[in-house]
Amino acid sequence: MFCPRCGHENPDAIFRCMSCGADLSPSSPAPYAPVPGKTSSIAVFSLVLGVMSIVCFGVLAGIPALILGVIAISEIRRSQGALSGLGMAIAGMILGICSLLISLLIFLVIYKVNLSGFFDPDVRSKVSRVKADQRSMATGLEAYFVDNSCYPAWALEGESVNSAGFADSDSYSLPSFKIWSQPLRQMDFSTLTTPVAYITRYFNDPFSRNPDVTYVYYSDINGWILISPGPDEVYDIDPLEDYISTNAQPSGALLEKCYDPTNGIKSGGDIFRVKM
């Protein structure tokens, strides 16, 4: 073996030149460079769904992104280098988790702001009470009609049981049962409570801002309507305008202003009962 530095001939078994001391060992082979594995398609799908879940689709894409991310990580680790894309799988899984947390936060905010009223036991109890009161008063009104061939008189402002002494109440300008007084007795006038007690008393409306106010009442020869402002404590129905007793069904105006708990327990609309 000749030395590449000085040209001295050395025995084959020598790995260092006997003349100049140069290294004569065979050159080491180039290090092995592994070939990158094929990218996992599941990891790609996980990443794409993770991005979509953050951008617009929320949990609809977030849950699949999380599941596919877990599957892709497991698949890549089992492939022993044959598959790549571990970073994409982890990113898709993290984005899926983030979308779930964001959706949960949004739901909790909506629940707190809008939906908590659905479970307000006090409001639900008052709604049930209003319906029970109006049902009892309806029975009294029909019994009154049987005896008198008409429904009890109604009145506005100072002559109404709702407005006497409560000029600042919301129901002051709305009709209700007419007050019974001594001059009216001489006119053979009667109400639901006097002189015959068709009901023992006028029930107080639990949704009225004044605790001594009863339900709004209006009638004619064909029927009657009883109204409570509902949980929002605002009268939406004007019986003189919206109630049409000759209709077989409640008018569109009444239905539009009807209280519906599916819109929120404290949503707008009145609670009413009618005789058409």
Alpha carbon distance 141, 151 (integer Å): 6
Instruction: Please report the pLDDT score of residue 151 as a whole number.
Output: 92
Q: pLDDT band for position 184 (50/70/90)?
A: very low
CA dist list (Å): 176 to 53, 157, 239, 272: 57, 9, 10, 13
Q: Cβ of 81: how many Cβ atoms within 10 Å? A: 11
Burial of residue 93 (CB within 10 Å: 0-12, 13-18, 19+) is buried
Instruction: Please report the pLDDT score of residue 133 as a whole number.
Output: 95
The strands making up 224-228's β-sheet, listed across from edge to edge, are 216-219, 224-228, 271-275
Residue 211 phi, psi (nearest 5): -65, -15
Pairwise pLDDT comparison (265 vs 203), residue with the higher score? 203
- The answer, yes or no, to whether residue 274 has pLDDT greater than 90, is yes
Alpha carbon distance 90, 92 (integer Å): 5
Beta-strand relationship, 271-275 and 224-228: antiparallel
8 Å CB contact between 254 and 237: yes
CA dist list (Å): 118 to 103, 201, 257: 21, 31, 19
Mean pLDDT over 61-90 rounds to 89
Pairwise pLDDT comparison (69 vs 29), residue with the higher score? 69
Pairwise pLDDT comparison (253 vs 19), residue with the higher score? 253
Instruction: Please report the pLDDT score of residue 237 as a whole number.
Output: 93
User: Which amino acid is present at 239?
Assistant: P
* 90-100 per-position pLDDT tens digit: 999 999 999 99
Instruction: Please report the pLDDT score of residue 13 as a whole number.
Output: 73
Instruction: Please report the pLDDT score of residue 35 as a whole number.
Output: 57
Instruction: Please report the pLDDT score of residue 28 as a whole number.
Output: 46
pTM over the 0.75 mark:
no
Instruction: Please report the pLDDT score of residue 114 as a whole number.
Output: 57
User: Which amino acid is present at 234?
Assistant: V
8 Å CB contact between 203 and 222: no
